[in-house]
Structure 1
Amino acid sequence: MRPLTDGTELLVGRDSELSRLVGWIREVAAGRGRAVLVDGEPGIGKSALVRSACAAATDAGCQVFWGAGDELGQALPLLPLLDALEITPATRDPRRDAVYQLLGGGAVAGKGADLAAAAAEQLIALVDQLCQDGPAVLVVDELQWADSTTVAVWSRLARLVRQLPLLLIGVLRPVPRRDDLRSLFRIVRPAERLRLGRLAEPAVLELVAALAGGKPGARLEELAAGAAGNPLYLTELVDALTRSSCLEVDPAGIAELTGAATPDSLPEAIADRLGFLTEPARAVLRTAALLGVGFSVADLVTVTNSSLAELLPALDEARAAGVLVAAGDDLQFRHPLIRTALYDEMPTAVRVAWHQSAAWALAEASAPVERVARQLLPMVSTTDTRVPVPDWAVKWLLKVAMPLIGQAPVVAVALLRRAVRDAPLDDAVTGALACRLADAYYRVGNVAQAERIACRALDRVRDPDVRVDLHTTVVQSRGTAGRAAESLPALNEALNQPGLQARHRARLLVLIARIRRVLGEVDSAGRAASAALAELGAAEDRWATGWALHVLSQCAMTRGEWAAALPLFERAMAVVRGDPTLIELTLLLRINQSVTFGALDRYADALTAAGQARELADRTGSVARLTQVQSAIGQLLLGAGRWDDALAEVDVVPDDHKDPGVVCCDHGVAAIIHFHRDETAAARRHLDVAALHSERAGDEVVESLVRARSLAFEHAGAPERALAVLTAVPAGEDAGEERLGDAVRLAMTIGDVRTAAEIEARARAIAAESAVPHRRALALYCRGLLERDGTMLLRAADGYADAGRPLSQAKALEAAALAFAEARTEDRGSARAAFTHAIDLYAELDAQWDVARLRALFRALGIRRGPKVKHRQATHGWDSLTPTEGRIAALVVEGLSNPQIAARLYLSPRTVGTHVSHILTKLGVHSRIDIAREAARHQSASG
């Protein structure tokens, strides 16, 4: 643990609050974590309280990590956590190095990469690993100034504290109170919030007596009463009186005032303290104030262009005056308000000039990107728009634009926008800056502005590399808005421009191919992609080659040529492998490869590919692709009959991080499972959530949601309406194969033979010349239903068994049993056998609605004999754990962390965290230690 200060602070009147914090520290030392919020006005003693508790935590053997938000740095991501966990350029711990490599410039950010999100995932994993070293206390002070990514990580950790020996403490002021900060108060229980009010009169007098060295006299009591119970004000007031020799303690121990010069406010009291410093010391402190509340001495040496020996007298004076305190190897202002007083006394124009000078010095010293950007931000936030961007800063921006956009796109927008404004209109540098600015706007989601800037730049930029990049941004922006086709005329015109090299033509053709594919013009898309590859010939362009192969693989998938798509994936991934600028494409290829394996009934391969995509998305911060791959995994697990695992995957990523279509798909998957398990209320909750997002999903057909809505009507005893939901998609749409089978079943249930026959013809066409087991099984199933042929339905069940699709297999067996039972030549033995097998399959899925429905149906037919079906009756306790949860619980008992369990089981840490949360809830316990205790109790009880 780094030392928090170099001195002790008086803590008076906070016994109750300190007792609660110390009690929570004892609990975390015993393995039970929790999240706590401490709030109150500036100077009220929040930090002093938490520091006192942290001293107790150290004594209890806990690791303590402390970071603080900073008003100057709130636009830059994760700075408080980086500081708390000591992630610096000097990092030598490999666990910390991964984070620094992302945010410290060691990673190249291609379009689509979100370095801050990737680093956030690494930070959460790091905290998990650190907690394996021993119980930990993680404090984020001045949380109201923290960036949104830090707040999001704090929120994630707050949801994980039950799984970790972690006391997570957030310290903040009542204002400003942003929406993301308000959400923390919904996550943290009221019993775990500490609001510090003003000190009561007895505590005020006790504090003044301790500070003054004697019981306060009448006049000092009167002055103390004017401090409104604020400990910082009281401290500064008494110190000011002492410095001015207005305070004496008589032989009776009474502290009396001997003069009248007293500060009238807290700012005035702080100004009085600073007024006792020499001018050289104040000059050094003003420069330090530019760097923030906490600062590196090395950075101070850099920006002052002084040696450490030259700075030491001023720093020693500031420490002796109680202005600065030590913070590990660095220094910090004793209180943020002291730093604010120094910072605000500088005129704005002077302050901006000093920030620019500091930025230049740090850039020359090759300081990390975020430190330089932090000094440049005041230049663009000032109301004086006449302040230009220096030439050196323009060159620096061009050099670091891509990593800066990946790490802090909002900051990149602010800096690049001012640089573009100040650069000459016909300057080639301006075109490059505008290109990066359009990228940054696209990254922050302002696609309209990204498109406008890119289009304006296209009118004046002549460099073909920059022009192609600008066309790419325009296509992406318009595609996001559903207007991709508008770019086709400009792209075709660009192809005919003189002076283009083959790689430029290839890239333009790739953009055309991608647009044609989005428009559903599969043949045109394929021709354009093939033309791009032909343009390249033997030339190497990984971007153009990879994207062209990607389009060709999509075309094959659309045509249902799944086997033909597989070698295209392999070729494309061989091209893009290892290129950090092509992460987005790599993810798309892996996700589509997973979908293709699933369509070919190769579930093991599909889940392996999806797992690789998930690991890459997690590591590189591609949240959009992470949500897509999680959704794909959920669908695969649904089809494979691993329903408990599917439900866990649906919960892994919060809905507010997902595309509306993905939200609908995930909740559709969950609703299907809950309906089959006769958990109707849960299923309808998922349908309600999906309904909130379905309008935003547009015309997209979400197969799982369509099936779930149909099941809702089946549950309500309305098969006609259930069928109408399944057949609502126009005939030209590529309906899901599961949906076709259910549609034929429902049509035959209500006697609509014509509809059943039409759908059966479609299923037959899909299966024609296909070697995929589930497609052949589908054709047999539909035809068997139409002809009420039990033998054909048994063949369909065998085909679904070969495909690894247990729900479809059970449906085919159910239909076969019914066909045998209702045949003219009644075959009760075959009916009973098929019925028994179907019941077994439904029971293995825990599909209690199907089990009950099937039993009732066959009782009505006089077939009463069947197996005694076992299913999970328990909803709480050890017996309620799913097989996956049982394996994870065993590894928790072994002492493995979530990342270690994830590596052992080939899951993601997020998924493991979701399972551990479910385990804790089912066992009714509060920590991983409690899981081990429950495991021992269960083992003892079972002999």
Structure 2
Amino acid sequence: MRLLTDGTELLVGRDGELSRLAAWVRDVAAGRGRAVLVDGEPGIGKSALVRAACTAAADAGCQVYWGAGDELGQALPLLPLLDALRITPVTRDPRRDGISELLGGGAVADQGADLAAAAAEQLVALVDELCQDGPAVLVVDELQWADTTTVAVWSRLARSVRQLPLLLVGVLRPVPRRDDLRSLFRMVRPAERLRVGRLAEPAVLELVAALAGGKPGARLEELAGDAAGNPLYLTELIDALARSSCLEVDTAGIVELTGTATPDSLPEAIADRLGFLSEAARTVLRAAALLGDSFAVGDLVTVRNCSLAELLPALDEARAAGVLVAAGDDLAFRHPLIRHALYDEMPAAVRVAWHQDAALALVEANAPVERVARQLLPMVSTTDSRVPVPDWAAQWLLKVATPLIGQAPVVAVALLRRAVRDTPLDDALTGALAGRLADAYYRVGNLAQAERIALRALDRVRDPDVRVELHTTVLQCRATTGRSAESLAALNEALTQPGLQAPHRARLMVLIARTRRDLGEIAAAHRAASAALTELGSDEDRWSTGWALHVLSLVAMTRGDWAGALPLFERAMAVVRGDPELIDLTLLLRINQSVTFGALDRYTDALTAAGQARELADRTGSVVRLTEVQSALGRLLLGAGRWDDALAEVDVVADERKDPNVVCCDRGVAAIIHFHRGEPAAARRHLDVAALYSERIGDRVVEPLARARSLAFEHAGAPDRALAVLTAVLAREDAGEDLLGEVARLAVTVGDERIAAEMAARARAIAAEPTVSHRRALALYCRGLLERDGTMLLRAADGYRDAGRPLSQAKALEAAAIAFAGARDEDRGSARAAFTHAIDVYTELDAQWDVARLRALFRALGIRRGPTVKHRQTTRGWDSLTPTEGRIAALVVEGLSNPQIAARLYLSRRTVGTHVSHILTKLDVHSRIDIAREAARHQSASG
């Protein structure tokens, strides 16, 4: 089969590859998505094959999106996807302009915001929405040069292709093979990898004949054999011979080689092509080579400082010579190797100077940050360290530091490091740049370097605003490494410096308050935060006020004063609302507010607050806060008895992107559920994962993990060891109240009256708050266990029911049944009623281990349960879907996208994606269309 692509290559000898690509196109047109990798050496024809498939896809009615990585831009995030999805500085498309604004720094100003992560979230959502318009093909060519964020988004999309009519294609070379690219090969099944190899000899001769216009003679055939089956080399070779008039067709149609000067290599053949261009065209092309493998004509006009009319002759000549091709609204080099040849022929010093001039031109044209940074990077990557950073570049870096650090912290480190080196030591600009550099190092995880730079800058910077920022960075570095105490002396000394105004003093006091709180010095933290508010008086400093109120709310939470924490949250939220520089604090407040609502049994309010925090974390790209809010949601859903939803939240974000403390908490939640459901193998797998991360959090208390480890011993028939796990945790000062009931129950089980009495006393002490149902229920539960009072335990069960905590309710009912069964004969009716009610609640939770355990216990007492309550037993098919999965499946059938379902059900897009993945697995189907078919079949079968 021969398919003419863009006039520069013929596809010969590729029938097998084209057949596989065509089958994948037919599948996506029918609604079945997949992710594929196409790899092979440079010039082997990978892109030509995929372009042919894209042409077929467009003819079949699919949307086609194409972007490519390039070596110059690999340090900047998401450029291939932004190009593919047509996201420009001014997109004028409501589905795209938010991403453009975000990466330009206009949507988020918080210094801690991860703009690349935020844009990645929105890109994933955009692809989902575009797929609702119809089947789509998304290609990332030259994937080996793509940045890590692009590869991560490709990976996420690859995991969701079963949910979308999306053919996701990655095209790449065998080398360089980074770790993240290797993971893609592990993810994509062998059946969906296409290795493009060298052409066999018959195909080589066929291609040469097509290019040369006749059957190759012996000398030409021998020369073609030296091309090692590489189509690009063959094309360049024949074109070079044709330009040199070295080919002659005889009367029999045989192409003979008449000359002796032939290119010895592919680079030499490309150089021969470029040699036929005029010097004016080569000058324009060198400038274009500075911009990358593809480029906007407008940028070339800016860099050349001329009109488009002046450039057109050179561009037309380059296109006629097969050097440039159209790439949507832009132009591109026909092959990256051609751009490399132009780029590499310039001396390094000349290239750097040209890049600097291009950067200045783009700055003056108000070009996006990443385009300017791309031109400055060669200045810092050159081996010639004498190349200085111009003054205008240092000023520009300071101006755009916040969005640049948020979007590309690695690039920010490289540029700021050179700028700090090249500005005078006594220049005020140096101190400000050093502060930004320290923050950039902190963002990339190099805490030691961030701390060193910030401390050095503190020795010479006198600007109080910059000094406070530097102290903040030092504190963050030390807090992350468990060295918060080291900052106290420096912060207290900083308070004594002359010339400080009230806002500066307040900010330092806030840092002291945060440090004291991190060290567990609750009273001292309260004093410092209160002093900061007093220092401010009537002055408006939203940062200091918001953070001081945040510390006070944490103090209240730690003291168990949940009701007292709520007004502090409200005050703080009123202060920070709408301030883009305080997004991270806003997230912290929302997350802790949701935890507080849960502690007050206000689950609806808790889930609403958590949902707001999750939406904001998704929108701003705060992965750390996103994982924290997902973890908080998991704990809330565990307590509320929505266990299937809790398990889905655990799976939303990969463990490697979470804080170790969050991983331990999430895995603990999942293990608890699996133990109660009689799935100990699954529970222990979660505990094994948690064990890998628990070493990294020291002796920090993670209550769900402690509960899960205790349950593991219960399952093993060792209640004494289960009790020991929890009593060790409760001995800690920072242990919460949720474990008191479990310790009391296990103490009664093993006959330890002393511990049971201690738990009852502690529960009675915290039950003073009359509006918190679960605290009153906890006091009744512990006392009822100690006194074996069935009536009191029933009252505890009612309290837990009112609090919306079904597992605790079932345990109280179980204890009541046991207490009644061990009392007088006339109480056996009460025992039976409590036993039946407990079984019903456990069954609603699908807590089969508890059901089986309780039935066995009461059979020995001669008490049988009441009517059987139906519960979900099947793990496959429509009836295995959870209530949430059932609602989501119904919305899938309606044709809603994941973002639309998320908005309808107040879930995150990630959570919906997790549920849809579970639905596909349970129904054993491969696409959303298949879900609709299964729904129709189920409806028909059920009448």
Give the TM-score taking structure 2 as reference length: 0.99
Which residue identity does 1:928 align to in structure 2?
R
Q: Distance in 1 between the 2:205 and 2:733 partners? A: 79
Q: Distance in 2 between the 1:62 and 1:769 partners? A: 62
Quote the offset at 1:481 in angstroms: 1.1
1:820-852: CA deviation from partner (whole Å, max 9, x where unpaired): 001145511000000010000000000000011
Quote the offset at 1:8 in angstroms: 5.8
Please identify, of 591-600 and 518-527, the stretch whose mean Cα deviation from structure 2 is larger: 518-527
SS in 2 for 1:168: strand
Q: Give the structure 1 partner of residue 744 of structure 2.
A: 744
Q: Give the structure 1 partner of residue 359 of structure 2.
A: 359
Q: Does 1:709 align with 2:709?
A: yes
Which residue identity does 1:94 align to in structure 2?
P
Instruction: Give the conservation status (yes or no) of the 8 Å contact 1:428–1:461.
Output: yes
Q: Give the structure 2 partner of residue 733 of structure 1.
A: 733
Instruction: Give the conservation status (yes or no) of the 8 Å contact 2:763–2:782.
Output: yes
Quote the offset at 1:318 in angstroms: 0.6
Instruction: Give the conservation status (yes or no) of the 8 Å contact 2:5–2:48.
Output: no
SS in 1 for 2:729: coil
Structure 2 spans left out of the alignment, 5+ residues: none
Please identify, of 486-495 and 607-616, the stretch whose mean Cα deviation from structure 2 is larger: 486-495
Q: Give the structure 2 partner of residue 33 of structure 1.
A: 33
Q: Give the structure 2 partner of residue 14 of structure 1.
A: 14
Q: Give the structure 1 partner of residue 657 of structure 2.
A: 657
Q: How does 1:263-302 map to 2 (within 5 A)?
A: 263-302=263-302
1:280-331: CA deviation from partner (whole Å, max 9, x where unpaired): 1111111110100000111111111111111111111111110000111110
SS in 2 for 1:786: helix
Q: Give the structure 1 partner of residue 570 of structure 2.
A: 570
Quote the offset at 1:255 in angstroms: 1.1
Q: Distance in 1 between the 2:25 and 2:219 partners? A: 41
Quote the offset at 1:733 in angstroms: 2.5
SS in 2 for 1:794: helix
Instruction: Give the conservation status (yes or no) of the 8 Å contact 1:5–1:327.
Output: no
Q: How does 1:159-174 map to 2 (within 5 A)?
A: 159-174=159-174
1:855-902: CA deviation from partner (whole Å, max 9, x where unpaired): 111000000242213111111000000000000000000000000000
Q: Give the structure 2 partner of residue 96 of structure 1.
A: 96
Quote the offset at 1:729 in angstroms: 2.1
Quote the offset at 1:158 in angstroms: 0.1
Q: Give the structure 1 partner of residue 718 of structure 2.
A: 718
Instruction: Give the conservation status (yes or no) of the 8 Å contact 2:650–2:670.
Output: yes
1:247-290: CA deviation from partner (whole Å, max 9, x where unpaired): 11122211111111111111111111011111111111111101
Which residue identity does 2:886 align to in structure 1?
G
Please identify, of 725-734 and 887-896, the stretch whose mean Cα deviation from structure 2 is larger: 725-734
Q: Distance in 2 between the 1:733 and 1:556 partners? A: 15
Q: Give the structure 2 partner of residue 646 of structure 1.
A: 646
Q: Distance in 2 between the 1:525 and 1:385 partners? A: 47
Quote the offset at 1:755 in angstroms: 1.8
SS in 1 for 2:698: coil
Instruction: Give the conservation status (yes or no) of the 8 Å contact 2:835–2:865.
Output: no
Which residue identity does 1:12 align to in structure 2?
V
Quote the offset at 1:48 in angstroms: 0.3
Q: Distance in 2 between the 1:699 and 1:826 partners? A: 50
1:648-683: CA deviation from partner (whole Å, max 9, x where unpaired): 000000000000010010010000000000011111
Which residue identity does 1:75 align to in structure 2?
A
Quote the offset at 1:770 in angstroms: 4.5
Which residue identity does 1:571 align to in structure 2?
R
Q: Give the structure 2 partner of residue 193 of structure 1.
A: 193
Q: Distance in 1 between the 2:568 and 2:647 partners? A: 32
SS in 2 for 1:138: strand
SS in 2 for 1:155: helix
Q: Does 1:259 align with 2:265?
A: no
Q: Distance in 2 between the 1:526 and 1:825 partners? A: 56
Please identify, of 297-306 and 890-899, the stretch whose mean Cα deviation from structure 2 is larger: 297-306
Q: How does 1:150-549 map to 2 (within 5 A)?
A: 150-549=150-549
SS in 1 for 2:248: strand
Instruction: Give the conservation status (yes or no) of the 8 Å contact 1:5–1:326.
Output: no
Please identify, of 566-575 and 745-754, the stretch whose mean Cα deviation from structure 2 is larger: 745-754
Instruction: Give the conservation status (yes or no) of the 8 Å contact 2:217–2:256.
Output: yes
Q: Give the structure 2 partner of residue 753 of structure 1.
A: 753
Q: Distance in 2 between the 1:689 and 1:606 partners? A: 28
Q: Distance in 2 between the 1:58 and 1:801 partners? A: 58
Q: Give the structure 1 partner of residue 591 of structure 2.
A: 591
Q: Distance in 1 between the 2:108 and 2:22 partners? A: 44
Which residue identity does 2:874 align to in structure 1?
A
Q: Distance in 2 between the 1:501 and 1:692 partners? A: 48
Q: Distance in 2 between the 1:682 and 1:72 partners? A: 46
Please identify, of 128-137 and 818-827, the stretch whose mean Cα deviation from structure 2 is larger: 818-827
SS in 2 for 1:872: coil
SS in 2 for 1:61: coil
1:580-622: CA deviation from partner (whole Å, max 9, x where unpaired): 1101100000000000000000000000000000000000000
Quote the offset at 1:736 in angstroms: 3.5
SS in 1 for 2:67: strand
1:213-239: CA deviation from partner (whole Å, max 9, x where unpaired): 111111111001000000000000000
1:20-54: CA deviation from partner (whole Å, max 9, x where unpaired): 11111111011000000000000000000000000
Which residue identity does 1:241 align to in structure 2?
L
Q: Give the structure 2 partner of residue 137 of structure 1.
A: 137
Which residue identity does 1:795 align to in structure 2?
R
Instruction: Give the conservation status (yes or no) of the 8 Å contact 1:107–1:403.
Output: no
Tell me: CA distance 1:169–1:769, structure 2 relative to 1, closer, same or farther (3 Å).
closer
Quote the offset at 1:6 in angstroms: 5.2
Q: Distance in 2 between the 1:5 and 1:412 partners? A: 40
Tell me: CA distance 1:735–1:760, structure 2 relative to 1, closer, same or farther (3 Å).
farther
Q: Distance in 2 between the 1:863 and 1:378 partners? A: 81
SS in 2 for 1:727: helix
Quote the offset at 1:524 in angstroms: 1.3
Quote the offset at 1:189 in angstroms: 0.6
1:112-131: CA deviation from partner (whole Å, max 9, x where unpaired): 21000000000000000000
Please identify, of 594-603 and 250-259, the stretch whose mean Cα deviation from structure 2 is larger: 250-259
Instruction: Give the conservation status (yes or no) of the 8 Å contact 1:502–1:536.
Output: yes
Which residue identity does 1:330 align to in structure 2?
D
Q: Distance in 2 between the 1:12 and 1:490 partners? A: 72
SS in 2 for 1:459: helix
Q: How does 1:737-816 map to 2 (within 5 A)?
A: 737-816=737-816
Quote the offset at 1:477 in angstroms: 1.1
SS in 2 for 1:737: coil
Instruction: Give the conservation status (yes or no) of the 8 Å contact 1:109–1:115.
Output: no
Q: Does 1:44 align with 2:39?
A: no
Q: How does 1:852-891 map to 2 (within 5 A)?
A: 852-891=852-891
Q: Distance in 2 between the 1:142 and 1:841 partners? A: 56
Across the aligned residues of Structure 1 and Structure 2, the Cα RMSD in angstroms comes to 1.1
SS in 1 for 2:582: helix
Please identify, of 764-773 and 308-317, the stretch whose mean Cα deviation from structure 2 is larger: 764-773
Q: Give the structure 1 partner of residue 900 of structure 2.
A: 900
Q: Does 1:930 align with 2:930?
A: yes
SS in 2 for 1:35: strand
Tell me: CA distance 1:223–1:5, structure 2 relative to 1, closer, same or farther (3 Å).
closer
Q: Distance in 2 between the 1:596 and 1:609 partners? A: 10
Q: How does 1:561-710 map to 2 (within 5 A)?
A: 561-710=561-710
Q: Distance in 1 between the 2:105 and 2:274 partners? A: 38
Instruction: Give the conservation status (yes or no) of the 8 Å contact 2:556–2:562.
Output: yes
Q: Give the structure 2 partner of residue 560 of structure 1.
A: 560
1:553-601: CA deviation from partner (whole Å, max 9, x where unpaired): 1111111111111111011011111111101100000000000000000
Q: Distance in 1 between the 2:495 and 2:323 partners? A: 65
Instruction: Give the conservation status (yes or no) of the 8 Å contact 1:108–1:402.
Output: no
Q: Distance in 2 between the 1:159 and 1:896 partners? A: 19
Instruction: Give the conservation status (yes or no) of the 8 Å contact 1:201–1:229.
Output: yes
SS in 1 for 2:457: helix
Q: Give the structure 2 partner of residue 550 of structure 1.
A: 550
Quote the offset at 1:753 in angstroms: 1.4
Q: Distance in 2 between the 1:719 and 1:104 partners? A: 58
Instruction: Give the conservation status (yes or no) of the 8 Å contact 1:545–1:572.
Output: yes
Q: Distance in 1 between the 2:222 and 2:543 partners? A: 75
Q: Distance in 1 between the 2:127 and 2:630 partners? A: 23
Tell me: CA distance 1:620–1:865, structure 2 relative to 1, closer, same or farther (3 Å).
closer
